[in-house]
């Protein structure tokens, strides 16, 4: 089960699963972001007309739909999010509803399924504060983080923007669902 399965990370993960395993891949996406229709066609081509690819068009804020989608899942990859800092500033309610409410819906649906599916959640560096303070080392093709000053997951949280707040709150829910309900999360 891949939430945000038509987005960049989700579609690449779905493609890899389709090409390197015999797993059935179920993607769930609201198809609201630019370019995702191309990603869906790419995945359908990769599935070669088999029944290995299932697509649900829906919103993670819809608990009933999320609950139906995870009913048989043994693994859940949660890549769905409101990802723009600018949107979080202009519409913080929407940002919160998607990132916190949507994550809560996925976790609660997973818990209620009784299957204890593995849940992978993707966060953001915005939970660690102002990243502009990090040193970058330029090379000919890209920049690398100065490893002497790299960000450790033990670094104190310092939510930066409403987006950082919503992703940080979602992080905490993922952590607590593992601790309180023994849901395997990462």
Catalytic residues: 163
Helices marked H in 71-101? 85-90, 92-96
Contacts 24+ apart (CB under 8 A), 138-143: none
Distance of CA 87 to the CA centre of its chain: 17
Distance CA 143, CA 136 (A): 6
Tell me how far apart the alpha carbons of residues 54 and 56 are, in angstroms, rounded to a whole number.
7
b/e sequence 94-130, b meaning 16+ C-beta within 10 Å: ebbbbbbbbbbbbbbbbbebeeebebebbbbebbbbe
């Amino acid at each position: 089960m891949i939430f945000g399965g038509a987005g960049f990370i989700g579609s690449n993960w779905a493609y890899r699963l389709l090409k390197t395993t015999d797993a059935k891949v179920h993607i769930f996406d609201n198809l609201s972001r630019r370019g995702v229709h191309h990603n869906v066609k790419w995945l359908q081509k990769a599935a070669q007309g088999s029944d290995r690819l299932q697509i649900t068009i829906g919103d993670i804020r819809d608990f009933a739909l999320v609950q139906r989608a995870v009913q048989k899942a043994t693994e859940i990859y949660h890549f769905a999010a409101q990802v723009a800092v600018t949107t979080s500033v202009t519409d913080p309610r929407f940002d919160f509803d998607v990132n916190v409410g949507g994550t809560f819906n996925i976790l609660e649906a997973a818990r209620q399924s009784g299957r204890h599916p593995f849940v992978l959640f993707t966060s953001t560096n915005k939970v660690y504060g102002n990243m502009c303070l990090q040193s970058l080392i330029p090379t000919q093709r890209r920049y690398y983080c100065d490893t002497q000053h790299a960000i450790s997951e033990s670094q104190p949280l310092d939510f930066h923007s409403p987006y950082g707040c919503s992703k940080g709150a979602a992080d905490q829910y993922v952590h607590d669902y593992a601790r309180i309900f023994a849901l395997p999360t990462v």
